Amino acid sequence: KPLKELRTGKEKIFRMPSHCPVCGEKVVKKGAIFYCLNPGCPAKNEKYFLHFISQNAFDIVGLSEKTINRLRDEGLIQDPADLFLLKKDDLIILERFGEKSSEKLIKSIQSRKKINFPNFIFALGIKHVGIQTAKELIKYFPTLEKLKKATLEDLLKIKNIGPETSRSIFEFFQNKRNLKFIEKLKKVGIEIIYPLISEKMPLAGKTFLFTGALKTLSRKEAQRKVEELGGRSVESLSKKIDFLVVGENPGSKIKKAKEAGIKIINEEEFLKMIK
């Protein structure tokens, strides 16, 4: 509570700045928190770099937070798109980077120029948009151009995406800085791989959840197979799930799935569905 007895009469009224004090971009209030929407803002740049190279985004192996900071300090990179412009000679001048380690990192970065559309969306760092939401989005907007042109009304119609997330996506693509960054990614050679999604695909409209260990393939492979065949793979139990696939040593999800009336299948039944 306010400690009025400690006031001296010299207090000043605090006014929240309307623009980011670091980059000058307009500040937007989301709930009780104020956000700078500029992906290139130096104040948020470091964490965004880590998000951009993470496993569900560009998945760049061998690029550490320490290396990113060194590259930024040397002025070699300003935003994540600059990573794809790096040359071996840029790295060799850095301490502890020899010719072989430099070549290895450059090769790792260049190998990630092709990226699946959901991973690209996730990499953009849109507030509230995780990899599952990104996978849901591409079912309604199968190309980047269609997603960029989506109206707020279009986004609000998606049943698995809430209004707050819909507004966040819409506002992101209305921001000129964000669009400029996307264009820069294209210019440095990023190629988006668009999945073929059709209502005629065998698992179209079906949602799967996996529990326990599978014998013939890893969980990630099984999830990827579901998505390749037009289905949706999720990580948590809800009544919207169509199939719970049960492997060895399953968790408590089986009991909850039975109570929710979700169809439970074993690995063999699942393999028949994806053949």
Residue 134 pLDDT: 95
Whole-angstrom distance, CA of residue 127 vs CA of residue 35: 10
CA angle 128, 183, 172 (to 5 degrees): 25
Residue 49 pLDDT: 94
Stretches where the chain sits below pLDDT 50 are none
Residue 117 pLDDT: 95
Residue 197 pLDDT: 62
3-state helix, strand, coil in the chain (%, to 5): 45, 10, 45
CA angle 162, 163, 167 (to 5 degrees): 120
* Structural domains present in the chain: 16-195 (1.10.150.20), 207-273 (3.40.50.10190)
Residue 88 pLDDT: 94
What residues contact residue 14 under an 8 Å CB cut-off, 6+ apart?
none
If phi > 0 it is left, if psi is from -120 to 50 it is alpha, else beta; for residue 31 that is left
Whole-angstrom distance, CA of residue 53 vs CA of residue 64: 9
Whole-angstrom distance, CA of residue 231 vs CA of residue 65: 35
Residue 101 pLDDT: 93
Residue 216 pLDDT: 94
Whole-angstrom distance, CA of residue 71 vs CA of residue 7: 47
Phi, psi dihedrals of residue 132, rounded to the nearest 5°: -70, -40
What are 91-97's contacts with CB under 8 Å, separation 24+?
Answer: 94/67, 94/70, 95/70
Please, how many CA atoms are within 13 Å of residue 176, restricted to the half-sphere of its CB? 2
Question: Which amino acid type is present at position 225?
Answer: K
Is pTM beyond 0.75? Reply is no
Whole-angstrom distance, CA of residue 172 vs CA of residue 210: 32
10 Å Cβ neighbour count for 209? 22
8 A C-beta contact, residue 134 and residue 194:
no
Q: Which two tokens stand for residue 220?
A: 């990630």
Residue 128 pLDDT: 93
